[in-house]
Amino acid sequence: DIQMTQSPSSLSASVGDRVTITCRSSQSISDDLNWYQQRPGKAPKVLIYAASSLQSGVPSRFSGSGSGTDFTLTISSLQPEDSATYFCQQNHITPFAFGPGTKVHIK
Query: What is the binding site for other proteins (CB under 8 A)?
Result: 1, 32, 34, 36, 38, 43-46, 49-50, 55, 85, 87, 89, 91, 94-101
Cβ neighbours of residue 32 under 8 Å, at least 6 residues apart?
Answer: 50, 51, 90, 91, 92
Distance CA 3, CA 99 (A): 8
Q: State the nearest-atom distance from the C-beta of 48 to other proteins, in Å.
A: 9
Closest approach of other proteins to the CB of residue 47, in Å: 10
**What CA dihedral angle connects 34, 39, 43 and 45, to 10 degrees?**
-30
We find the least distance from the C-beta atom of residue 42 to other proteins, in angstroms, to be 9
> CB-wise, 51 or 78, nearer to other proteins?
51
Cβ proximity to other proteins, 49 vs 71, nearer residue = 49
Q: Residue 17 or 100: which CB sits closer to other proteins?
A: 100
Non-local (6+) Cβ contacts of 57 within 8 A are: none
